[in-house]
Structure 1
């Protein structure tokens, strides 16, 4: 299901993210989109601190490759995707792309959503996090719908993004904790759908 050999390109600058398009087949995108959990399955999370703010829906599916109860209630197509995301082949590919040693690190895999008006403010991740991978499932996302993943050169919000990626189905973004990034506010009536894979050097308590 996951094209683990998909080519990743590096955004410009000394601190950069790695982007792959077409990492899911079109048939996989259709199946996953049709079987995406309803909004009522997600925990609504609103967070605000001096360094980060966000509003999103969250549904964790696996921890260190072991399925959580929420995953067992999803259609089989999601089990196939989790097998690929948590599998050694994709981990090895991410190591090749990023130069990071990821095998054996604690990991969490889940889904998240952004409804209209939701966002993630400009920030970089805590140093305990080794790598984050975001994978999008949004077919025919409107050009003016917001929800773009923004790679930034610094914490200065007035500078233009180094790259602004629409949340198009089959796009994956991999980035380490040094990368300044944000998700722009969703401005369409549609809900943004994505998966996240997190590798931890030292995982905090959830």
Structure 2
């Protein structure tokens, strides 16, 4: 297994509107391309919710702890890395948080042009989330950006992050960690592709 599959050397800490990190070169270019090329197409379930504290619609495939079918070898290696000790320790060093003993959840996500995620603060049992992106040359008007918000209003955008191949964001959960995903995928039917690793309290 590649020891430095997930890298943090390019991580930049941001304080506005809450503590988060933008990691522009999370994956080596060859790894990013390989994971994009083999990004699974099957095993996804459409999920959605209207109203309430958070509304959304997208497709998800669980990788850990519940897996949906076999994975391509590159993704099997990625999964083995992010559930391992070295990755957890790297996230701990970056964030200054202890993640020892927390439950790890890993999912893949597909957002089409009709998908979105409304403004919300993550549930209290979430501690740290890293979202990896797998879209090459994402258009500036393509929708699907991660929106870091100053409040529960989708118009209160402080930072906007495009889902560019090989990059990631790390979100530290807090009472004011409002965020959303803008509606829309790539024009012509392309989807916004991402992987998410979450450290939970039980």
TM-score under structure 2 length normalisation: 0.90
The residue number in structure 2 matching 1:195 is: 195
Q: Deviations over 1:54-94 (max 9, x none)?
A: 1111101112xxxx442x51111111111221121221111
Name the CA distance, whole Å, in 2 between partners of 1:144 and 1:83.
35
Moved over 3 A (4+): none
Aligned to 1:184: 182
Contact 2:146 2:180 in 1 (8 A): yes
**Which aligned pairs between 1:56-75 and structure 2 lie closer than 5 A?**
56-63=58-65, 68-70=66-68, 73-75=70-72
How many equivalent pairs are there?
Answer: 195
Q: Name the structure 2 match of 1:164.
A: 160
- Unmatched segments (≥5 aa) in structure 2: none
* Offset of residue 13 of structure 1: 2.6
Q: Which residue of 1 aligns with 2:30?
A: 27
Deviations 1:132-170, CA, capped at 9 Å, x for gaps = 1111111122221111011112213332x2210000011
Alignment of 1:1-206 (within 5 A): 2-13=5-16, 15-38=18-41, 40-63=42-65, 68-70=66-68, 73-159=70-156, 161-178=157-174, 179-188=177-186, 189-202=189-202
CA contact (8 A) 1:150 1:162 kept: yes
1:14 CA displacement: 6.0
Structure 1 unaligned regions, length at least 5: none
- Whole-Å Cα distance in 2 between the matches of residues 124 and 35 of structure 1? 32
- Give the RMSD, CA atoms, in angstroms: 1.6
How high is the TM-score relative to the length of structure 1? 0.88
